[in-house]
């Protein structure tokens, strides 16, 4: 039985996250961040670096980046390391779509607080265990690989009371990946309406947040936000299993949102 000796030799490989930080998770390029700038002139020409239009300007002329449109290609980081860098944390989920824009605007604070409080009230009954129904609404398949990884021995979400179910009737949380294709609009709504209350929705990946590079087209929407009400947005193309797990835990109130995101 070589698997027994191999197990004894390597020990426990299951991640300690979220109880303790995981070394691998901290090394993951979770999202692009915007570095502090000397002035508006520092961002000249930055918008042209992004193939999806994720880079823009705020009211004061400073550079902002919408992580919900970012595909993590790294072009902006390579060309302008003075303005952009990779966030070393996988905890990049947000309870509002506007919260994916960095640096965070001060006027978003009240909206974020209200969204967090409302979500906390609704999911209070789900903190012992949660059943997840995943639906592909037009994904390229990359998010599905990361979602499937949550069930392997390294992440082992069952240890946290998270279980996947095939029936929306038994689901507490709807996990949606994909750009929101026209053909999946009806099934997504039907799945959501079949879930009992309280129910929460997590949009996984850049395609689900904004449509990514495949929208808008005749067959796709700009994400899934106009199909069902989304409670937590997880950026990334694709997001890592740690980022997806953080989004699920954030949605059911088992972990706080990370502060100070640049």
For 108-251, which CATH class?
alpha beta
How is residue 188 written in tokens?
């997504």
pTM of whole model > 0.85? yes
Contact predicate 151/157, CB 8 Å: yes
Sheet holding 63-66, edge to edge: 55-57, 63-66, 101-102
pLDDT at 254: 75
- What Rg do the C-alpha atoms of the chain give, in angstroms? 19
Buried b (16+ CB within 10 A) or exposed e, 149-164: bbeeeebebeebebeb
pLDDT under 70: residue ranges of the chain: 1-12, 25-27, 38-41, 105-128, 256-262
What does the pLDDT look like over 30-89, one tens digit per residue?
Answer: 799 998 875 666 778 889 999 999 999 888 788 999 999 999 999 999 999 999 999 888
Looking at residue 219, its pLDDT comes to 84
pLDDT at 260: 47
Q: How is the chain split into domains, by residue range?
A: 108-251
Would you state the pLDDT for residue 53?
A: 92
Q: Please give the Cα distance from 76 to 58 (Å, whole number).
A: 18
d(CA 41, CA 262): 19
Tokens 């824009």, located at residue:
101
């Amino acid at each position: 039985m070589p698997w027994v000796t191999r197990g004894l030799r390597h020990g426990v490989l299951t991640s300690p996250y979220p109880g303790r930080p995981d070394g691998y998770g901290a090394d993951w390029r979770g999202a692009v961040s915007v570095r502090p700038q000397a002035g508006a002139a520092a961002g000249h020409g930055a918008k042209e670096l992004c193939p999806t239009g994720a880079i823009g300007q705020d009211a004061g002329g400073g550079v902002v980046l919408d992580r919900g449109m970012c595909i993590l290609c790294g072009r902006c980081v390579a060309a302008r390391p003075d303005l952009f860098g990779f966030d070393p944390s996988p905890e990049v989920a947000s309870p509002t779509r506007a919260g994916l824009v960095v640096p965070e605007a001060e006027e978003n604070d009240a909206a974020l607080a209200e969204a967090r409080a409302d979500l906390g009230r609704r999911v209070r009954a789900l903190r012992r265990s949660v059943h997840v129904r995943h639906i592909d609404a037009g994904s390229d398949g990359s998010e599905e690989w990361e979602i499937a990884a949550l069930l392997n021995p390294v992440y082992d979400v069952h240890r946290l009371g998270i279980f996947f179910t095939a029936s929306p009737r038994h689901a507490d949380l709807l996990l949606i990946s994909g750009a929101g294709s026209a053909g999946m609009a009806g099934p997504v709504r039907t799945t959501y309406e079949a879930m009992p209350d309280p129910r929460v929705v997590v949009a996984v990946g850049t395609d689900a947040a904004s449509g990514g590079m495949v929208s808008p087209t005749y067959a796709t929407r700009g994400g899934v936000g106009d199909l069902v009400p989304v409670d937590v947005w997880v950026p990334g193309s694709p997001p890592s299993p740690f980022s997806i797990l953080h989004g699920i835990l954030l949605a059911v109130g088992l972990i706080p949102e990370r502060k100070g995101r640049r």
